[in-house]
Amino acid sequence: MQTLKHYFYLASAVLSGTCLVVMTLLILAQIAARMFGVIIPSSEDFAGWLLSATIFFGLAYTFNTGNHIRVTILLCRLEGRARRLVEFFNLTAGVLISGYLAYYTAFTAYESYIYNDVTDTYLAVPLWIVQSPMALGSLFLLIAIIDSYIAALQGEKPGFIAHEDALSTAE
């Protein structure tokens, strides 16, 4: 099971990194094309969509490795049962919020597919294609938070806490 989790989080990171590389290449191609007087249609739009995909695909990996932004001023001062309760509350809120996000981003992409919505850019791209990475990344984040939630319920230390603790003891 740990191997499956490892590859899930790795796939999230690879998808994010791939979108970032493609976005960079697209921007570099646009810069090079402008030097020759050529314009790549909708390159700015595609770069923006790839940026969104980069962010959303990277959420699960970032959450699992403890590299997301958390205000730990209070958490660092708590120990034992008090810290577990606060972390459990945080994970519960995270499951609810990310579940809501995943549902509505998927629903929005589905509606765009049903109604055949297209982007209002130079190149008309089906809107569900643009929205799908956000929906999938939100689902990945939900799975990552549920994974940590289950670990906390079982009395284990979630991945992000283990990474945070390792970083705090390394300093």
pLDDT at 76: 73
CA 91 to the chain's CA centroid:
16
Q: Pseudo-torsion of CA 153, 155, 156, 159, nearest 10°?
A: 40
Q: Which residues contact 124 (CB under 8 A, 6 or more apart)?
A: 118
Task: Using the CB atoms, write b or e for 67-95: b if 16+ within 10 Å.
Answer: eeeeeeeebeeeeeeeeeeebeebbeebe
pLDDT recorded at residue 119: 92
What count of other Cβ atoms lies within 10 Å of the Cβ of residue 6?
11
Q: Which of 47, 51, 64, 45 is nearest to 6 (CA)?
A: 64
Burial label for 167, CB within 10 Å (0-12, 13-18, 19+), is exposed
Query: Which pair of structure tokens corresponds to residue 7?
Result: 């590859």
pLDDT in tens, 133-170: 999 999 999 999 999 999 989 988 887 777 776 666 66
Phi and psi dihedrals of 4, rounded to 5? Answer: -65, -45
**Residue numbers in the chain where pLDDT is lower than 70:** 71, 165-171
Which pLDDT does position 170 carry in this prediction? 60
Kindly list the domain boundaries of the chain, sorted by start residue: 2-170
